[in-house]
Amino acid sequence: MNDIIAKLKENVIQGRITQDDEGIDETLSGPGVVELTQIALDSKLPVKKIITDGLTAGMEIVGRKFNAKEYYVPDMLASAEAVSEAMDILKPHLEASDIAGKGKFAIVTVKGDIHDIGKNIVAILIKGAGYEVDDLGIDVPTEKIVEYVRENKPAYLGLSALLTTTMLVMGDIIEALKAAGLRESVKVLIGGAAVSEEFAREIGADAYCADGFAAVRVLDSYQAA
C-alpha cells in the first residue's frame, strides 16, 4: 500500500498527470497521478493519507526545487495541475468522509488588470493543498467582489494585481468590505508583481504572498492557529 503512495508522490514531483506524460525524468513510466489516485482509492487507502503523504508531500518537494531554481515555472505548473486533477477525483470522497475541508478561497484579478497567469498558478497550488477554490476571473469590479463575499462567505480572499496603477484598487476593495460590514469575515491575501509586504500593511490586508507556495503556507498557518 505504501508503494502506491510513494509512486504517487514521485509522479507529483515529476509532473506526470497521466501515464501518457513523460515527466521531468523521461525514463519514468507506468501510471501517472490520475491513475495512481484512483488505484489508491480502489485499494481502500484513506483519503487523508493519499493527500498528505502523496500529493502534499510531493508538492512540498516541488516547492523546494522551485525555490532552489532546480525547477522552472512549467515544471512547477505541471506538478500543480497533476495535484489539481487528483483533488477533483478525491473531492466526492472528501465530502463523504469525516475529513473537513480547509475552507473556501476566492481569488480574483482586480478591476483594470487583465493579467491572470500568476493568479491561475496560485489557484492551482491552493486547490492542490486541499482548499476549495473559486476563481472569479480578471478585471473584476470591486462591487462584484463585495457581493460575492456577502453571498458565498469565503474564508479567504486573494487579490492579484500586476500593475502599480491597479494595485491601488486592492485598498478600495478592503475599504468596501469594511463599509459592507464584511471585513472581519474574510482573510484578505494580496499578491502580484506590483505589491509588497509594506503595501499589504498600508492597505490593511492580512498577508502578502510572494507566490503560490507562500500563499499555501499563509493559509495553512491560519489553519494551525
Q: Is the pLDDT of residue 33 over 60?
A: yes
49, 66, 96 - which closes a domain: 96
Same domain, 49 and 91: yes
Same domain, 152 and 200: yes
Q: Which of these, 147, 128, 111, lies nearest to 54 by C-alpha position? A: 128
Using a pLDDT cut of 90, give the percent of the chain over it.
Answer: 61
Backbone angles phi, psi at 66, to 5 degrees: -65, -45
Tell me the one-letter amino acid at 180: A
Compare 125 and 200 and report the one with higher pLDDT. Answer: 200
Same domain, 136 and 84: no
* Number of neighbouring beta carbons within 10 Å of residue 74: 10
Per-residue pLDDT band at 99 (split at 50, 70, 90): low
Per-residue pLDDT band at 124 (split at 50, 70, 90): confident
Same domain, 139 and 188: yes
**Rounded to an integer, what distance in angstroms lies between the CA atom of residue 60 and that of residue 211?**
14
Q: Considering the entire predicted model, what is its pTM?
A: 0.77
Q: Which domain holds residue 73?
A: 2-96
CATH number, domain containing residue 195: 3.40.50.280
Same domain, 42 and 121: no
Overall domain count for the chain: 2
Same domain, 20 and 120: no
Per-residue pLDDT band at 213 (split at 50, 70, 90): confident
Same domain, 45 and 123: no
Q: Which of these, 113, 103, 122, lies nearest to 187 by C-alpha position? A: 103
96, 112, 136 - which closes a domain: 96
Per-residue pLDDT band at 215 (split at 50, 70, 90): very high
Which residue is it, cell 481569488? 107
Same domain, 89 and 162: no
Backbone angles phi, psi at 77, to 5 degrees: -65, -40
Edge to edge, the sheet with strand 207-208 lists 132-135, 104-109, 156-160, 187-191, 207-208
Same domain, 68 and 131: no
Same domain, 149 and 112: yes
pLDDT recorded at residue 97:
61
Same domain, 122 and 216: yes
Backbone angles phi, psi at 140, to 5 degrees: -95, 125
DSSP state of 70: S
Mean pLDDT of 1-21: 92
Mean pLDDT for the chain overall: 91
